[in-house]
Structure 1
Amino acid sequence: MNGFLFQAFIYLLAAVVAVLIAKRLGLGSVLGYLIAGVVIGPLLHLVGNETEDLQTFAEFGVVMMLFLVGLELQPRTLWDMRTRLLGLGGLQVLVTGGVLTLLGIAVGVPWDVSMVAGFVLSMSSTAIVLQTLGEKGLLKSDGGQSCFSVLLFQDISVIPILAVIPLLARPELIASQSASHSGGHASQAADWMSGMPGWEVTLITVAAVGFVVVAGNYLSRPFFRIIAASKLREVFTAAGLLLVIAIALLMTLVGLSPALGTFLAGVVLANSEFRHELESDIEPFKGLLLGLFFITVGASVNFTLLWDQLPLVAALTAAVMATKAAVLYGLGRMFKLQGADRWLFALGVAQAGEFGFVLLSFTVQSAVLAESIAAILLLVIALSMMLTPVLFILLDKLIIPRFNRVEGKQSDEIPEQAHIIIAGLGRFGQVINRILVANGHKTVVLDYRADIVDGLRKMGMRSFFGDASRPDLLHSAGLREAKVLVVAIDDMPRALEIVKHARRENSSLHIVARARDRADVYRLYQAGATDIVREVFDSSVRAAGYALSATGMHPYDVEKSKNVFVQHDRAGLRQLAPLWREDIPVFDNPEYVAKVKEITGAIEDAMLGNRGAFLDELDRGWTPPTAPAGS
């Protein structure tokens, strides 16, 4: 059974089973996909030679991913990143490529082979790193943004590397060689341009990029308005895919990276009113193709060659990853990345990447590297990619919890106590602290980010460095005597630890906690929080008020309507919290679903059917029968 349906069944089954197991073990989806590929490929031989063809197809997931990343970045944001993009990214490629070249020469490898291999291995895995950073919510951090800048510059640098490789052709390898792996999207140089003068090639390239920018700004909106007017969701989805594929095809025709072209298109469309619709339509295809790409990487590992050359491959992999991590750590210090962000940057992009498959194939075709050397380097790339999720686990479990001690920064001594303790000094905690202090209250503020604590001290905001989830630090801040604890951190596992410990130690403590969504509200409620604030709830209610005002409703009625909704929603949370269970999806919890229907009906009745009666009651000081748990 080698038909299409059987192969599709094998790939999908492997993906679902492996990813579920990996996620349950805390290993992340990427490692699950890679393991699935190894199992169905080299171990069980359930998939055959079609893996190479699938890998070329699956690499389109990287193209879609960069398009979606571009949609999140407005041109102004990209311009603000220029220092990291050119500085961090440029130095990473040049320094890493140079160091690996020197190491190759030092062990007797010819300089041209060392240089090509060095710059090929200087590339990192955009797919794995961005997927993992997104899953862990680290993409917006300083370390995550630095990783993204390096990855984006690497994608751009593929273009000049492809241009230089043919100039290094070795006479003894001039005979045409077939690549060990499919060339992929980025290696398909435009044959029709090969005989043109350099200035014509440059002009065509600039024209293609200019067309993407102009079309994105002026042609895409009318196009999508026409599509949207059809009111057919599947047509809009098809139009979104058509846009991505058309840009990728255009970039391929002029010899550029399709991923770079679609990223540029995403940036251009970042301000479009169709941005969110495009994201929601393309996201499922991106996720599926990226998963398929990771599976094909695992399935393409040549275990026969790996076992034969295991000491060499292991040594090369360790040398490449250690060299890249050291260079990245040094650049992180140069660009003033702090603590955990520097380690995230150093380890996050220490692997070789998927563009290495593309470049190695092109080096063999161009008679620069022998097939035997390329096969070894392919194993190094695949092995380093498979080790990347392990590095992220190491980062999560060992390095980040201890990085303060690694940096020599100890928790501050807290010489005073207060009746109000605030855990977290980000944008959420800062506002709370400012209001409390402005009203004459003394607070003790804790945060584990030394740079933020030091910076706010310079501005006159008294705060202390330390991890508020540590019981000894909470006690030194006066936990047992405190009246109020504000948990303003956005790390839910740590927030739950703090709330549970604080409730055990001080039963009368009033705990105000920050939540991201309803599930977090329920977790914090069960942990013992008194008042729970959803991050965007108040702003969403305000936005709804603006929308009601725009319909012509009187401002007085708008405010009363908002108050009715807030009161009912908060009272509903109080009723739903005891019914929520961590181990059962809410849609499979019949008691929870029934209560949601009941509460929804009551709110609709209040807002529509009996609006006048409820607003009159509100005028007379109506309040819900029990105090709510969260807002």
Structure 2
Amino acid sequence: MRDTVAYFAAVVVIVPLFSRFGLGAVLGYLAAGIVIGPSLLGLVQDPESASGLAEFGIVLLLFVIGLELKPSRLWSLRRDIFGLGASQVVVCGLALTAVLMALTSLSWQAALVVGLPLGLSSTALVMQLLAEKDITNTPFGTRSFSMLLFQDLAIVPLLTIVAALSRVPPPPGLPPALDGLQTQALRIIEFTPLTIVPGWLQGLVTVVALGLLVLIGRYGLNPAFRLIGQLRVREAFAAAALLTVLGAALLMQSLGLSMALGAFVAGVMLAESPYRHALEADIEPFRGLLLGLFFVSVGMTLDLNVVRDQFGLIVLLVIAVLATKTIVIGLLARAFGTGWLRAFQMGLLLAQGGEFGFVLFAAAQQGALISGTAAQLFGAVVTLSMVLTPLLVRLASRFNPAEVARTDLDGPEAAAPQDAAARVLLVGGGRFGQGVAQMLLARGVEVIAIDNDPELIDVSRLFGNRVYFGDGRRVDILRAAGAENAQAVVLAIDGKWDVGIIQPIRDAFPDLKIVARTYDRIHLLDLLRLHPEVTAVREVFDSGVAAGRATLEELGTPPETIAAIEAEFRRRDGERLELQLCSGDQLSGAERLFRPGVAFIPEAMGEIPFAGPIDADDGAPSPQADLLVLQGEPVRA
């Protein structure tokens, strides 16, 4: 409990300060970890106690990223993933190996098992920085992510290399096929055992595991979410979302693979699901909290005593790592079609060490390739490089506005299709909403509908409509569906919904135009008193007018007379509505209503057909009590 209080107290005090001065939340989290860690205030003595839980922040982050990448989009990135990504891991790893051999007394084996991990970058840090600048889905962001994704795929081969170079003899009784390899339990970043097996077998396991996840995601998850969605219990759906992420992560972990990779694949399989926005909205609070805890835990691992004792060497190594990776990644990105300036910025963004470096340093230490002191030293190098990255990125952004990153690629990837932001969000896909959608689609407007009826969603998607599951009254659902880039939202909700939902939407998206369906006149008045800027539509008003018009046609009323009557009715109704809004009294403006015994005579109507004398005994109003209303301009004879 004490550690938890210390964590939240540090976050509440330090992170807002860093954000206030424009240093970013990530740097604030790292600083908070350093302050409360054992090297400074000592409020938390065991940093590893939070690391296991904090790692799930990365898992949830990769799942949300996967939700944004449709399989077709992921396939279009194959050149960046397996070309640029593989080149980056190999070239950066070998370059840093050479640098370490030049600057230290490490053997080539030790330099290799340290240089390869230093060639990796921090997925959590980079993706958070991209999100803060809102360039995750730009060509710059997707190319950066492609390299990070291949790094996750490379973790197992790198662990295999460490095991192959290990100086610890294999345990007795190993099969001959495993001779020379060490089977050992490593406390990896998920803090769970990982068994090192031959590369070909690990590759086969990886393919089988990914195939299993694909099958489950494609044929099992959507029916399950559909069933849970029918219950309309928000807590159950949120629990199912977390279970999906953690289940995929634990499946991959049990096979010795990266938990983050499993969560990412599960997200990709749900990228085209109608439940993707609801999943993202339900997971987002957990993701943000746990990812913050991860950065705090990284800050707590920084041993300031090691930094003090080896300050000169650590500073030299940090500079060498940042400079080498910036140059190598920049040149590789340029070779793959990125402009020179943007390639340089991409190099700075990915120049830091990554969280998996701690994993591989621990493996190298257990394999007697490096000492415990060396593992702590290189861990400090990784941590300090992560601390410096937000500052370097902020400095690099001054050379060119962030907006340029949206259209910077020179090669064919510049034209890669992106998911276009919704022009209009439609909350409620029922009979009213379907009519609205048809009007908008006829104009070529993009429409994304949100509804909480799984059956309606299934039927609508058969016709090619973009309909997603969720409660569109929630701001987080609207944000996940793209409200920040939409022009308008139409609230086509059945029934007399709470008008209080408008204010949170207005606060979150001040530029979003709102069109709202209202249940009746009282509902309309309640809405307009609070939000006169909202365009409100009564769901039965126009249908009632249409029915009255049709009835007059059946009675033989001339079309021009019907049009004049309709116009007069709408004018009177508008005046009555204004009086009711101003006075707050629903009875105001009653004189604007048509009453029995009052006839409306339009201008230039001509003769009024008269059906004959009225029998006073048949219950009809007495002709003597009738009121004749004449409308028109006086004309001199």
Please give the TM-score of this superposition, normalised by the length of structure 1.
Answer: 0.65
- Give runs of aligned pairs for residues 155-304 of structure 1, distance below 5 A: 155-170=152-167, 183-185=188-190, 188-190=193-195, 203-304=204-305
Q: CA deviation at 1:450?
A: 10
Q: CA deviation at 1:339?
A: 4.7
3-state SS in 2 of match to 1:123? coil
Q: Which amino acid aligns with 1:118?
A: G
**1:598 pairs with 526, 529, 545, which one?**
529
**1:605/1:276 CA distance change after superposition, 3 Å:** closer
Q: Which amino acid aligns with 1:16?
A: V
Q: Which moved more, 1:16-25 or 1:165-174?
A: 165-174
Looking at structure 2, the residues matched to 235 and 98 of structure 1 have their Cα atoms a distance apart, in angstroms, of 49
Q: Say whether residues 1:607 and 2:538 are aligned partners.
A: yes
CA contact (8 A) 2:426 2:489 kept: no
Looking at structure 1, the residues matched to 106 and 129 of structure 2 have their Cα atoms a distance apart, in angstroms, of 35
Q: Which amino acid aligns with 2:324?
A: T
3-state SS in 1 of match to 2:424? helix
- Give runs of aligned pairs for residues 130-529 of structure 1, distance below 5 A: 130-170=127-167, 183-185=188-190, 188-190=193-195, 203-396=204-397, 398-400=398-400
Q: Which amino acid aligns with 2:78?
A: R
Q: Which amino acid aligns with 1:598?
A: R
Q: Say whether residues 1:540 and 2:431 are aligned partners.
A: no
Looking at structure 1, the residues matched to 49 and 439 of structure 2 have their Cα atoms a distance apart, in angstroms, of 62
**2:33 pairs with 33, 37, 46, which one?**
37
Aligned sequence identity (%) = 37
Partner residue, 1:118: 115
Per-residue deviation, residues 136-157 of structure 1 (Å, max 9, x unmatched): 1111222212210111111110
Q: Which has more helix, going by share of residues?
A: 1
Q: Which moved more, 1:259-268 or 1:340-349?
A: 340-349
Q: Say whether residues 1:98 and 2:94 are aligned partners.
A: yes
CA contact (8 A) 1:97 1:121 kept: yes
Q: Which amino acid aligns with 2:30?
A: L
Q: CA deviation at 1:205?
A: 3.8
Q: Which amino acid aligns with 2:9?
A: L
Looking at structure 1, the residues matched to 286 and 159 of structure 2 have their Cα atoms a distance apart, in angstroms, of 28
CA contact (8 A) 2:167 2:368 kept: yes
Per-residue deviation, residues 9-44 of structure 1 (Å, max 9, x unmatched): 221121122221111111111011111111112565
**1:312/1:619 CA distance change after superposition, 3 Å:** farther
Q: Which moved more, 1:287-296 or 1:139-148?
A: 139-148
CA contact (8 A) 2:528 2:534 kept: no
Looking at structure 1, the residues matched to 437 and 333 of structure 2 have their Cα atoms a distance apart, in angstroms, of 54
Please give the TM-score of this superposition, normalised by the length of structure 2.
Answer: 0.64
- Structure 1: where are the runs of 5+ without partners? 404-423, 428-447, 457-534, 560-565, 570-579, 588-593, 626-631
Q: Rg larger in 1 or in 2?
A: 2
- Structure 2: where are the runs of 5+ without partners? 172-181, 444-486, 491-502, 511-524, 547-565, 576-637
Per-residue deviation, residues 166-215 of structure 1 (Å, max 9, x unmatched): 111125999xx9x9x96322773148xx6xx8776555443322211100
Q: CA RMSD in A?
A: 4.3
**2:106 pairs with 109, 122, 125, which one?**
109
Looking at structure 1, the residues matched to 292 and 404 of structure 2 have their Cα atoms a distance apart, in angstroms, of 37
3-state SS in 2 of match to 1:236? helix
Looking at structure 2, the residues matched to 618 and 211 of structure 1 have their Cα atoms a distance apart, in angstroms, of 67
Q: CA deviation at 1:608?
A: 3.9
Q: Say whether residues 1:27 and 2:23 are aligned partners.
A: yes
CA contact (8 A) 2:14 2:32 kept: yes
Looking at structure 2, the residues matched to 268 and 85 of structure 1 have their Cα atoms a distance apart, in angstroms, of 18
3-state SS in 2 of match to 1:271? coil
Q: Say whether residues 1:81 and 2:77 are aligned partners.
A: yes
**1:9/1:325 CA distance change after superposition, 3 Å:** same
Looking at structure 1, the residues matched to 166 and 304 of structure 2 have their Cα atoms a distance apart, in angstroms, of 29
CA contact (8 A) 1:325 1:347 kept: yes
Q: CA deviation at 1:106?
A: 2.9
